[in-house]
Amino acid sequence: MKKRILMMVVLLGTMLTMQAQVERPKLVVGLMVDQMRWDYLYYYYDEYGDDGLKRLLREGYSCENTLINYVPTVTAIGHSSVYTGSVPAFTGISGNDFMIDGHKTTSVRDTTVSTVGAHNGKGGQQSPHLLLATTIGDEMKIATNFQSKVIGIAIKDRAAILPAGHAADAAYWYDRTNGRFVSSSYYMKQLPSWMERFNKEHPLPANHNLNPSNEGVTMTFALAEAAIEHEGLGQDDVTDLLAVSISSTDAIGHDFSTRGKENHDVYMQLDKDLAHFLNTLDAKVGRGNYLLFLTADHGAMHNPHFLGSHKMPNGGWDNGKSFKDLNEMFASKYGVKQMVTAIMDSRIYLDRAEIEARGLDIDAIKRDAVNYLRKDPAIQFAVDCDRIAEATIPSVLKERLINGHNHERSGDLFVVLKSGHLGWKYGADYIGTSHAAWNNYDAHIPLVFMGWNVKAGRTDAPTFITDIAATVCAMLRIQAPNCCIGNAIRLED
C-alpha cells in the first residue's frame, strides 16, 4: 500500500513538473540578409524556387511594413538592434566605425583579445565589449541557467559578434588575410575540431575576398549547417540560438547596385541555399521544432544614375569637400587647423578636446557648421546633435535622429541628405550604391517569422526593427534584452 502511494506521489510530481515546463522551441534561428531591401521578396519572386523564400512567405508570418527607427542605417547598428531590440542611444553601437574620446574604432575592435584559428594577423582581435546592452542570446542564457548554446556565424566579424552577444559560446567569421574562418580568445582558446575540419575541407587562399561572391552565401550556410550538426544545436530540451548573417549580398549590392545582374544572381543563390538550409533544419531539428526569423540590417538606394535616367531625384554629397571647407573656415576664424576630425555616415565629429583646451564656444562653432552645410544643394537638414529636439524638422526624422545618437560616440552634427542622394561624390561611371539614410529605400526591411507556433499570415501594420527581439523573447517567455524598446508583434491576422 505504501509503495502504491509513493508511486502515485512520484507520478503526480512528474506530471506537475511536465505541466510546469515552459513550452519553447528546440532552436531559434535568426537569419539576417545584409542589405536586403523589403521589395526583394517580391521583385524576384517569380524566379524563386518553392522551398526557399517562397516557403517562408507561404508558411510564415510576414510583417510587410517593418521599418528601421533610427539613423544611420548601417550594418553594425542593424545587427545589434535586431538582437537587442534597441537603438544606438542605448547600445552604443553608433556605426560600423565611430569615435570614442577622439579615437576611431570599429564596432567590435578589441586589442585585448587575440585571433583564434590563424597564426598571424589581427582578424580575430574582435569582441562584443563595445555593445552596452544584452541580446536575445544573453537573456536565453540567463533564463536557462546558461544551459542554452548561442553561436553567431557570418563572413563579417560584426555580423557574427553583435548578434551572438556577450555570453555567447562562440562567434565565427571570415579572416580574409588568412583565408580561414576564425574566432577570438574572447570566446575560446582554440577552434573546436569540427571548425578546423571545416577550414580544411573548404580551403581558400590567403587574401581571398570571399565577401563579394555567391560562394560567400553558400559557405556561410554550410558553416551554419556544420554548427547545427557538430554543436548539437536543437538536439535537447534546452532552447539554443543560431544567429546567421549573409554578408555577400551587401558587398555585391555596393559594387553593382540594386538592379545589376550580379544582384539578381546572388538572390537566386540565396534562395537555393536557404531551401537547403531549411531542409537541413527539418531533418536535424524537426519541422515545427525551430523558430526562424528572416530580416535585414538595412536596405539600399537605387544607383543615382539609374534614378536620373528615369527622371527621379538623385545626387551625391561631396563630404570630402565639406570636410576641407569646414576646416578651412574654422582655421581662419578660430585658429584651429583641424576642427572637424571625421565625417562618417553623415555624422560629423569635432575636436572637442581642442575646443575645450582653447576655451572656445562649441555652440557657436556648431552654428557656423550648420549654416555652412545648409547651403549645400545635396543637404536637406543639418542638425546639432545636442539640440535635435529643438530642430525644425519632421517629427519622424527627429525621433530617428534621437534614437540614433549616442552622446559619447555619435559625433556633434548630423547631415540629412535629400532623397536619392548618396553620402559622397561619385563619377559618371559609378554603377554601385550604398545606404545609411532614413528613407524607405534604406529603412524598409523584410521580416518573416516561420516555424514553431507561427501560423501563416501577414500584416501591413507598422512594425519596427526593435520589435524583433521583443517578439522572440515574448514567444520564449523570457525577459527581453535590458535596453529593449520594442513591442512584441502579434503574429496573427
H or E stretch including 356?
helix 352-357
Residue 53's Cβ-side half-sphere holds a number of Cα atoms within 13 Å equal to 23
Residue tagged active-site, from 75, 91, 258, 433: 75
Tell me the Cα Rg of the chain. 24
Establish whether 75 is a catalytic residue: yes
Of 157, 216, 232, 217, give the one whose Cα is nearest residue 187: 157
Residue 123 contacts by C-beta under 8 Å, 6 or more apart in sequence? Answer: 115, 157, 173, 175, 176, 177, 178, 182
- Residue 109 is classified by DSSP as B
Backbone angles phi, psi at 343, to 5 degrees: -125, 115
Cα 165 from chain centre: 12
CB–CB of 458/60 below 8 Å?
no
Q: Could you tell me the strand order of the sheet in which 463-464 lies? A: 444-445, 66-67, 463-464
CB–CB of 151/233 below 8 Å?
yes
Cβ neighbours of 422 (radius 10 Å): 23
Active site residues: 75
